[in-house]
Amino acid sequence: MAILVTGGAGYIGSHTVAELLQQGETVVVLDSLQKGHRQAVAGCTFYQGNILDEELLHKIFTGHGIEAVVHFAAESQVGESVQIPLHYYQNNVVGTYTLVKSMIGHDVKKIVFSSTAATYGEPKQIPIPESSDTNPTSPYGETKLAIEKMLRWCDQAYGLKSVCLRYFNAAGAHPDGHIGEDHTPESHLIPIILQVALGQREAIQIFGDDYPTADGTCIRDYIHVMDLANAHFLAIEYLRQNESSSICNLGNGKGFSVKEVIEKARMITGHPIPAVVSPRRAGDPAVLVASSKQAQNELGWKPQYGQLETILAHAWNWHRNHPRGYDDK
């Protein structure tokens, strides 16, 4: 039996494919390559195509013994989603609807879904447990929450079992340096800081220093991409062993401000990394820190690379050796 990974050529998807292969799983990847990189995937069957393509899904589900789906394929930029919400509903919600309909039609009843801390909106409680209110502040978060709810109803109606993993801030790269983060355009804090260290940008812009935090900048919970990858393997194991669905946060439970991340990156890269304060970015909550007790208790998940220094060092190793990302290959 094989695991279908949608979006497997993307950042988190490619690291998860590497982890699944390492665990001895057989993997089939479906990725449109709108954002992903063919070079990021090796050692498995690869289909270039869209999750909205029903015929292609039928071909994959009938051509391979697919046991479970790990579903990353999505658009995922908070700011962009505010500008083009319908595209987000089409790609994320209609895309997942098409995928899930095909799964049920082919009797595939296990799915691990990439959800996000953006489902919470402005949290009332830190660290955030899964039982917190969900009031997304962006269309992106809304689409992910709509999918979570769709999956819950599909469990009730069709017995489709799901694990929805609400990632906090994915960062870092594979420790052996062969894959890493390569988004165009890049919007995430850590790769942008490292682009400054590489001389590709003049300075890092700090989006707001008037938040109600100790140094005025936003606090996030950065989680190593390989710890996320391992959680997907554990989620599949959970679905193999349990006849139930679950929703789990994935974070380290420790928050770092934008200024603290920049300071640690200065230490690791040895570069002064100039910073300039800019206006706030729309839709950014002040503090997002996870309680990941549920993932630890239900999935047996234990992050291996919990130190921000390690996350930054692995990211720096990737960016230094691939200053133009996969185009360097």
Output the smallest distance, CB 324 to ligand GDU, in A.
Answer: 19
Token digits of residue 177: 């340096």
Contacts of 138 (CB under 8 A, 6+ apart): 78, 79, 81, 82, 118, 283
Decide if residue 206 touches ligand GDU (CB under 6 A): yes
Decide if residue 299 touches ligand NAD (CB under 6 A): no
Decide if residue 141 touches ligand NAD (CB under 6 A): no
Output the smallest distance, CB 324 to ligand NAD, in A.
Answer: 16
What is each CA distance from 30 to 38, 73, 147, 148, 272, in whole angstroms? 11, 9, 19, 21, 41
Among 3, 4, 5, 9, binds ligand NAD (CB under 6 A): 9
Among 51, 174, 284, 315, binds ligand GDU (CB under 6 A): 284
Whichever of 9 and 69 has its CB closer to ligand NAD, that residue is: 9
What is each CA distance from 98 to 90, 198, 229, 274, 279, in whole angstroms? 10, 41, 25, 46, 39
Among 28, 41, 57, 170, binds ligand NAD (CB under 6 A): 170
Rg, Å, the chain Cα set: 19
Is 11 a residue of the active site? no
Amino acid at 179: I
| Residues 184, 189: Cα–Cα separation, whole Å | 14
| Residues 110, 88: Cα–Cα separation, whole Å | 24
Supply the residues annotated as catalytic: 140
* Residues at the contact surface with ligand GDU, assessed by CB under 6 A: 76, 78, 116-118, 168-169, 187-189, 192, 204-207, 218, 220, 258, 281, 284, 288
* Residues at the contact surface with ligand NAD, assessed by CB under 6 A: 6-7, 9-13, 30-36, 50-52, 72-74, 76, 91, 95, 114, 116, 167, 169-170, 183
